Structure 1
Amino acid sequence: MNVLLILVLLGLSRTATGTPDTCESCGLRPMADGREISRVARSRDAQPGAWPWMVSVQQVWSTGIVHVCGGSLVGPRWVLTAAHCFVDARNVPTWRVLAGATHLAHDRPEVQVRFVKQLVLHEDYDNVSQKNDVALVELDHPVRCGPHVQRACLPDPSLPLSATANCYVSGWGTTSAKAAASPLVLQEFQVHLIDSHTCNGSGWHRGGVHPHNVCAGYPRGGGGDTCRGDSGGPLVCQDGRSDRFWLVGVSSWGRGCARAHRPGVYTSTQSFHHWILAKMGLDSPGTTTRSTA
């Protein structure tokens, strides 16, 4: 974990559709400008605005500010992350969220800082088995969406993952299990979804994967994988028919990093679709479900 500088809160000018300060769209990458996403297995530095729903969940100490977990904006006031990030959480007002950032120690106009109003952990979260490892963070006031800050799209349970294409993970976690420090620059890498039955089998995770989990990585190891500090971050997959990305998983747990037959395990957002919407107080899931276009 890194001690960070306190970043200046500055505004954004427009959204992907040109409408000032709104969050009507989701799952789009306005700053990508048609750039090819890295298809290499190992992580690389992400470009500014590459993953505009990505946030850093941080705790403020008297000695500085520490990155604890990743998270994804799912609404102007809401961040979806992992429950295990807050097992020992105390004093909620000392937690904050950094949106629009790529380099955690650089002040840039697109960076927005919000403090945490409340933590909402799943009522049945189990810290031993990591069942129901999902949480929502409510911000003290909304973010302003723009090219560097967008909300993620939550797929409803009817979206078949087979209808998605390339899948990616991003985060500020360590790049290997033996790394002494985490990078300050956001890392990105491609992963492959792995059949849950295979992932849970003998020689793999041996029954530790729950029905509400998704596995992603590389069967032979050595490729991209989440590691320490990536918890709570997004697993996104591109819609097979558009440029939109779906937030299909929340980084939950793993055994080591990038080991053979030990892919990363994620909390399936589809399994918790109703819970997420209910906790956010959304009566209608219209803007967060799968597109029929």
Structure 2
Amino acid sequence: MFGLFYWLIVCLTDCGRSKFKSSRIVGGQDALAGEFPWQVSLHVKNTGHVCGASIISPTWLVTAAHCWVWPMSEDVTLCREHQSETASPVLKRNLKKVIPHPNYNSFTYDNDIALMELNSPVTYSDYIQPVCLPAAQHSFPVGNMVWITGWGATREGGFAASVLQKAQVRIINQTVCDKLMEGQITSRMLCAGVLTGGVDACQGDSGGPLSYPSGSRMFLAGVVSWGDGCARRNKPGVYTTVTKFRGWIKEKTGV
């Protein structure tokens, strides 16, 4: 049992389904309440939003390992009716367990993934639902569109967003991305972005989902990990590839 805990705000049973249909966009815009019901905001007491996470079951969340450098705060709060950080809480939880990947490298951000267990389950609704986990053999084709969401900065060096933001980006070829990122991309990383710049995850979005639409469902393709600045030309965002850790997630969570 941890002596300190994170605040979690889930603003937002069938995985990967949304109450709303997402419109296609190029730049970021406000998400609707319930549009990404697996999106979680990790809060540090007296600091506010620091990272994102994704619901994968009533008791388990997926986030980035590098988010756990923050001291954990006391409450886990789930907001149902609004996407704003200031929405009135309707549920509260404490953390039971946090499991960063044992091979996480804080210098290279390789294996940048962590699991978080709540002390009691959440109740699913139109506003709180899990994202689907892909099978280990699932592939996400280069060029396909994916969704990034979060309360992170809306520009490099800016302040966190007050309302959940959403944007669409494309999956980038691994070899191309490795060249653009100067050889820092490992086999456990996935790149996505708009190479002309202008759309990207940014500070505060770390740990959040890279959601891949397939039919009427969304799958957790990646976890927001790192990048060279925010939305720079020829500098895509880098994500932890969830399929590479499917066995580990199953072993630790049963999901």
Settle same-fold status: TM greater than 0.5: yes
Who is 1:268 aligned against? 241
Letter of the 2:192 partner, please give it.
A
Distance 1:166-1:95 versus aligned 2 partners, 3 A rule: same
1:163–1:25 distance in 2 versus 1, CA, 3 Å: farther
Cα distance in structure 1, aligned partners of 2:202 and 2:242: 20
Structure 2 partner of 1:277: 250
State the AA in 1 paired with 2:160.
S
CA positional deviation for 1:67? 1.1
- TM value normalised by structure 2: 0.90
Q: Is the 8 A contact 1:53 1:99 kept in 2?
A: no
Which residue of structure 1 lines up, in the alignment, with residue 155 of structure 2?
Answer: 176
User: Does the 8 Å contact 2:43/2:73 carry over to 1?
Assistant: no
Q: 1:99 to 1:279 in 2, by over 3 A?
A: farther
Provide the C-alpha distance between the structure 2 equivalents of 1:259 and 1:164, rounded to a whole number of angstroms.
18
Shift of 1:165: 5.2
Task: Label 1:145 to 1:237 Cα distance change in 2 as closer, same or farther (>3 A).
Answer: same
- In the alignment, structure 1 residue 45 sits paired with structure 2 residue 30: yes
Q: 1:99 to 1:117 in 2, by over 3 A?
A: farther
Distance 1:97 1:262 in 2: 34
Q: Does 1:86 align with 2:68?
A: yes
Change (3 A) 1:99 1:71: farther
In structure 2, C-alpha distance between the alignment counterparts of 1:70 and 1:118, rounded to whole Å = 17
Q: CA, structure 1 residues 157+114, in 2 after alignment: closer, same or farther (shift >3 Å)?
A: same
Task: Note if 1:59 corresponds to 2:59.
Answer: no
Q: C-alpha deviations, 1:144-176, integer Å up to 9, x for none?
A: 001000001110122221399531010000011
Partner Cα separation in structure 1 for residue 201 and residue 170 of structure 2: 13
Which blocks of at least 5 consecutive residues in structure 1 are unaligned? 1-5, 10-23, 286-293
**Is 1:213 aligned with 2:162?**
no
- Call closer, same or farther: CA 1:194–1:84 in 2, change over 3 Å: same
Aligned counterpart for 2:204 among listed residues 226, 229, 233? 229
Moved more, 51-60 or 247-256: 51-60
For 1:195 and 1:164, the matched residues in 2 are separated by 8
Instruction: Tell me the number of residue pairs that the alignment of Structure 1 and Structure 2 aligns.
Output: 246
Q: 1:269 to 1:99 in 2, by over 3 A?
A: farther
Shift of residue 39, structure 1, vs aligned partner: 2.0
Q: Report what 1:27 is aligned to.
A: 16
CA 1:99/1:116 → structure 2, altered by over 3 Å: closer, same or farther? Answer: farther
Distance 1:208 1:77, change over 3 A: same
Q: What residue number does 2:3 align with?
A: none
**1:210-244 Cα shifts (integer Å, max 9, x gaps):** 1011100011212x2000000000001111xx211
For residues 67 and 98 of structure 2, the distance between their equivalents in structure 1, rounded to whole angstroms, comes to 11
Contact 1:7/1:106 (<8 A) preserved: no
Deviations 1:92-122 (A, max 9, x none): 46363535451110216xx433221121101
Larger Rg: 1
CA distance in 2, matches of 1:98, 1:164: 34
CA contact (8 A) 1:164 1:237 kept: no
Moved more, 132-141 or 98-107: 98-107
Distance 2:175 2:153 in 1: 28
Distance 2:153 2:237 in 1: 14
Over 3 Å counting, the alpha-carbon distance change for 1:96 and 1:8 in structure 2 is: closer
In structure 2, what is the Cα distance between the partners aligned to 1:43 and 1:253?
Answer: 18
